[in-house]
Amino acid sequence: MSVEITGSYSGKKKVNIVHGPSGEIIVTEAPRDNGGEGKSFSPTDLIAAAFGSCVVTTIAIVAERSLINVDGMHMRVEKHMQTEPRRIGSIPLEVHLPSSLQDHERQKLERAGLSCPVHKSLHPEVKAEIKFIYDVG
């Protein structure tokens, strides 16, 4: 399956990205340390966001199939850049899940989260650790 995504430069270090199937638009811009205004996601911010949302989405898919309630699930991800070479060094992710989940459900959902395609697509030198926290009440 393929999805076409197009982009056009709109000036001031900004790019309008269009999702072909839906027409939805995301605007990216250079980060502040590269002359951007910091008013939108940078391209590397999108990688961190994609990682977090992919893990949560993958867990949600498995939870729905398995009739496991994950209402209130949420995530928090940070992006840490390195300079030589300039790239993402680490993107630690916390996934917050219901405290009521049983051990076997937790194991199943953690396996699902670790199998997210974005996680599997990241370069091995990017530290992309996932911490599962069971604190949603």
Q: What is the pLDDT of residues 112-122, one digit of tens each?
A: 999 999 999 99
Q: What average pLDDT does this structure show over 119-130?
A: 96
Question: CB of 28 within 8 A of CB of 40?
Answer: yes
Instruction: For residue 23, count other CB atoms closer than 10 A to its CB.
Output: 7
Cβ-proximal residues to 2 (8 Å cutoff; 6+ apart), any chain: none
Phi-psi region of 12 (alpha: psi -120 to 50; beta: other; left: phi over 0): left
pTM check: above 0.85: yes
Indicate the burial class of 41 (C-beta count within 10 angstroms; 0-12, 13-18, 19 or more). Answer: middle
